[in-house]
Each structure stands twice: as C-alpha cells, then as structure tokens.
Chain A
Amino acid sequence: MNNWIEAYFVIDFISAGLLLTAVSMNALKRIESCVKAYTLNSWLLASLIFVIALMNGETHLYAAAGITVLSKGILIPLFLGRIIRKMRVTHEVEPYINNVVSLSISAVLVAVVYTSLSDAVFIEGFLKNVLQISIAVLLIGLFIMITRRKAVTQVIGLLFMENGLFLAGFSLTSGMPTIIELGVLFDVLMGVIILGIFAVQIRRTFASADLDRLNTLKG
C-alpha cells in the first residue's frame, strides 16, 4: 500500500469504527452483545495496527497486530463468555441511566475530547484524529464502568479503556517497543482473569453480581 491518501482514508475509517463500537456500548442491552462489541472493537484495533505496520513496514508491528487479535479478539471474549455462562446472571445490562441519556452523554464526552484536543501542539501528522478517538474511547469506557451495575460490564468497560489507551500509545509513538506491548497485553489478560474471578467471588459472597452491595465493605 503505497498510496498515502488511501492509507489516511483507511485509518480514518477504522478509527471511526472503533469509536462507533465504543459508543454502541451505551445502546446495547444484552451482555453478550457487549462482548461482541468489544470483540469487534479489538479486531478493528488490530487491523489499524496492521495498516500502520504496512505503512511503516516495521515487522514488530505485525506481531503486535497478531497478538492483539489473539488475545483481545479471541481469548478475552471467550473467557468473558465463559464467565457469563458460569455466573448465570440475567442477560440484561441494567444500567443506572437509560440508553438515550447515556448516548447523549457519550456524545458530549466525544465533543469535549474533540474540542479540547483540537489544537494540541504535541501531535503531528496523520495520527491526530486517532489520538482524539483513542481518548474518546477511553472516556467512554470509563463512563460505561460508572453507569453499569454488573461486575462483568465493569470488566468490559475496563477493556474498552485499555483499547483506548493502546490506541493512544500508537497514535503518539507509531508503535511502542514490542516488549512494552507484550507487557501491556499480558497485563490486560491477567487483569481480566483476576477481575473475572473476583466477579464470580462477588456473586458467590453477595448472591449477586451487583456492585452496589460492596458499599457495605467500607470502614
């Protein structure tokens, strides 16, 4: 792929997809759909890395893309699905605020990110949009964590945040050293496993995966 203009186009396209999958989280009602949205998000992320790898021709980026697909696109969704089955929770997401409001709030979040990062000086070149999108994805992930009641949706929110961060890292450095990428990926994997175990434990202890019950733990 030597045509730069097309490359820009592809990158923008994929970035938009990333944002869209994140925003869609606000509208989804079933946990399984949320996991699917995340899977899609991860695949999109991997393909973005792949495109950048094609452009830069750096081999380690190919590896990064591959690992991303493997871990975030396959392993984590499988694991999440298993947890959901194991916990036998109701399949509704049960947000605190209804879909319309949360969609509008995420729109506001994206707007805030776009305006505040519109003329940030430290970003050069084609990846400026990607940075804005990555921060927006991050904030939406956080927002999802806030508004969702169940432990599993919290995990998904966290994973979105992580994807956002990963993207931000790429947009700023056009590819971090492989060892850091590997470290981060491993971290996320472990984090998800631990959180999954916690979620199961919470469910077992409080007979509910509703995090509100944790309020009683404070001193």
Chain B
Amino acid sequence: MRHGLILWRENELSLADVKARQVRLQQAIAAAGLDGVLIYTNHVRSAGVTWVSGFTPYWSDGLVLVLREGLPIFLTALSKRVGEWVKSVAPTFEVAHSPFPGKLAGERLAQVGAKRLGVVELDRMPGGVVDEILSVLPVELSDATELFTAVRGQADRAELDLVRHTDNIAREAFKAGDINGKYAGDFTGPVERAARLAGAEECYVAVAPDLSKDRRFIRTGRQELGRTFAVRLSIAYNGVWVRRIETFSAVSEIAARLSSVSAELDRASPALAADGSISAFYLPNGAKLIDWHLEAPHGTRPLKIVADAQTPLAAPVPYGILTTAVILDGETIVASRPVGLGDMSAREAAE
C-alpha cells in the first residue's frame, strides 16, 4: 500500500496542469472516434490515472472514465468516507461510489449514448469489471493503450520538475546510509526513513549485497554487505516515480572512486535524451559497459523497461530512468539516474 504523505499540492501540480492533460486525452478520444476511455488503477497499476488526475489510491482499486467532454469520473468501491479523502487529495474529477464500479461505468456510458469505449490495457482489465460494464451496456470495447501512450509520451513541465524533486529526495536519502554497516538493513533502514521524512509517498528499497558475487537486487535487511554493494531506491512523490541506484564500498579507495563516478553521472544524466540510446552516456575512463536498460512510465505502470541493448524504444516517453552496469578497475558499478530532463523549452520547440 502507499503509506507516505499524499497531498494535493497546487504549487507542484496545478489544476491547470491536470486539466491540460485531460483536454489532450479528450482530443485524442474524439480523433479516434471513441466515446470515452477507461483507465484502471490500484496502487501498483497507478500511473495512468495518476497522470490524468493527480490521484493515486493508497489501497483498493478504481476506474477513471474520461468521456469526450466534461470532468473525468473516478468510479470506486471505496466508501463515501474514503471518498472525502479522495476529493481532498485530487480535486480533478468527480467521485462516484458503487460496490460495482464497472456497472456504474456502464450506466454513465449509457447516459451519453456511448457505443465505443477504449480501455487502456484492455487485456489486463480485471475481468469482473468488464463483465459489470457489459451487463449494463453492450458497448464495443477496444484497446486504447497505444492512444494513451501517444498522449502520455509528451512531457510537461510540472512532471519533469517533480522528477527532479523526487530524484533530489533519493539523492539526499542515500546520505543517511551507513556504508560501514554489517547488514543490508543497517544501510537501507536509515535511507528509507530519510526518504519518508522528506515526504516520499512511497519507497521501495532493494539491495545487491555483494556485487563481487551477484548484481541482482533483492529485498532483504538481513544479508551481510560485501566489499561493494548497490542499493536501489524507488521513490514516489506526488505521483511521480524515480529510481536511483548507487554503488557503495566501505573501502575508502574504492568509495572515493564510486563517489566521483556518482557525481559525474549526476552532472551528465539529466540532459541525456530518454530516447533509448546510450551513445551520449557518461562512461568513466577505462570502464566497460556490461548492461543497460531504460525505464519509463507506460500505461498503468509507473516504471517499466521500455528499451535495452536488444530492444529499441517503441514510442516516445515523457522521461526515463537509465540503469547501467559497468566494470571499472575490476569492480562492478551499478547506477540509475533520471534522463530526459533537459531544458523544457527546447523540448517544447522540438515537439
């Protein structure tokens, strides 16, 4: 679930920002000849609804129905008491309650005489919800993932600013970790605490405890840390997800080298294009790149791998998280940084 601070912050993501996104989606709906688009949400598959409304459920699930015109409708089985909380953190849609939200969607679609409904990730929509819709209205369903991805792929200034802010939370939180700790939890516990104290909405910590043996990340507090280890911090803040991976060592000579690489990545990464290419990626002198992938928001997924050495990027993304693994002087270094945060006005001109 989401445990952290969830608030409506007009200064970070304004009603006007969200309205502009809704209008862009409504224009695409009309252009595709659809009557509306339905987007599913729970706290794992939250990204679609978060983008179109600024809202993320802390628990349970719901649907957002975007019709060609008017305010989107959040359809939920959550109680009216929880509905008051929903309205307080997302004044961007109408909230409608029913033990059967799919049925309610069908009723709202019937009211506007809808015949064609696009569903983001139709294949993944809970079957019970689809059954409820069709029990009310025999509407023609089609997959609207591509349509949504095309609209969503365009970055806006508010989102990129939030990505920068969230990455700052992650960068600062790492400073709370004790590199001399014996166990993974000695490092990750204080890091998670720092991220949450800074207002993170959610925080997942994973660790590769000994990079000399394995660079796969697991969730553990109990494993002993090796000479070099990496920590992956996945943080949500105001609906935006960022991952940041840092590699650490208690050996001072290695630590100094790692610190220098980290600082250089911080300098170079934000301006890198999130285009699925790493030709401009900063590679320390003498380092050998052994792996990379690019993650980005996709459909209802906050972050999903959208490109790697084998798979080119299929569609533009609003921003990305580039993860790289390199070997430098015999040590494995893993790092993740947000990319595609370059000057917004330049991006707007390009688009």
- The answer to whether A and B assemble together is no
B-side residues, CB < 8 A to A, are none
A-side residues, CB < 8 A to B, are none
